[in-house]
Structure 1
Amino acid sequence: MNGNSIRITHHFDDCRDKKDNFLLDLSVSGHADYLVTGDDDLLTLNPFYGIQIVSYRTFQDFLSAN
């Protein structure tokens, strides 16, 4: 199995649910293009520092179209 480690370089406190901030930290530090979630507290932040925060359905539709 292969994997990458992500060095956390950013720390955010933007999410209404403070327990979700680590996902923002990981996404930005890891240079993610998308954060796929069903969490409304995260979805309301879309876009976030150039990262598209989308539902599974929206991401699935995007993949099907491309």
Structure 2
Amino acid sequence: MSRKIHRKHGQVKDAAGIESILELHVQWNTKATSLCAKEFQNLLDEHEASGPSRKQAWENLQELRWALKETTGI
């Protein structure tokens, strides 16, 4: 079997390449499912808590955008 990898539209056309992609997929899925319920809840809590700060950052960015637009006349 040829070890050469041919790529077309981002697809691997080599058995060894496909095998390595599958191995990475299995490793990722194993790590993703190894989170215990408490760790998962912590991630959800952290994401929820960051919402207000993301909203405030977005509002600040819009104010800066408005100020630049007014100043430059664009």
TM-score by length of 1: 0.22
Q: Pick the structure with more helix per residue.
A: 2
The structure whose Rg is larger is 2
